[in-house]
Amino acid sequence: MLTTVLHAATKAGREISKIYRSEIGVEYKADLSPITKADRKGHAIIVDYLKRNTDIPILSEEGANIPYETRADWSEYWLIDPLDGTKEFINRNGEFTVNIALIRGGLPVLGVVYAPVKQWLYIGIEGEGAWRLELENHQLPADWNSVGNKLPLQHSNKGKYTIVGSRSHASKETDEYITKLEALHTNLDFISMGSSLKICLVAEGKADLYPRLAPTMEWDTAAGDAIARAAGCKVIQYGTGEPLRYNKENLLNPWFIVQR
């Protein structure tokens, strides 16, 4: 099943990269959020792979109109965002990802995040750990778990307290939260990053904290959440300290914190 997910993510990433280098084709949904040819292409590839190789139901950002009455009976399901960071894709800064997660009992137990331009592949499996690979030509090595780097890696900013934040979705509340942290940490560093790569940077050990005091949807976070948890990080609701839960009636996430 993991092999299926890895191939689905990398094949979708390859095709998304082709569109990234050509005509993006931007349209807008009813809520005025952007959607591109790459969102649709990635969705079609991943759904095809998962349907052909598993019997597990699928919830995707590009097919999120499944009634809660149907979803409520799912003991497990795939939760995917075929192109997380559409604004980063449109701006062509390379900071977008393909996200695939397996949700079981409302919690993410497997997650794959692939950044096609950077060719960074993150994998997280409950009870087994998390890894980071750097691919070439979107090819997955057969022995990925031996050539990949086990997370967390050594922190690259020793002596500094590093926060990672959104490049395209800053909020007043997040700015205020960071200001409070500046009073606690005299040697504070900040990294701007797009998409679920922010969560992965904490899992990797390159950042200590990612505060998200702004809206996200369940498909935005699930794969990164699985990776972070597998790497020993906490992904918790802001204000309560409870883990994020999935397959809620309302698919909007509460504010949350990812921390080492």
Binding residues: 61, 81, 83-86, 220
Residues that constitute the known binding site for Mg(2+): 61, 81, 83-84, 220
SS3 sequence of the chain: CHHHHHHHHHHHHHHHHHHHCCCCCCEECCCCCEECHHHHHHHHHHHHHHHHHCCCCEEEHHHCCCCHHHHCCCCEEEEEEEEECHHHHHHCCCCCEEEEEEEECCEEEEEEEEECCCCEEEEEECCCEEEEEECECCECCCCHHHHCEECCCCCCCCCCEEEEEECCCCCHHHHHHHHHHHHHCCCEEEEEECCCHHHHHHHHCCCCEEEECCCCEHHHHHHHHHHHHHCCCEEEECCCCCECCCCCCCCECCCEEEEC
Bind-site residues for substrate: 61, 83-86, 220
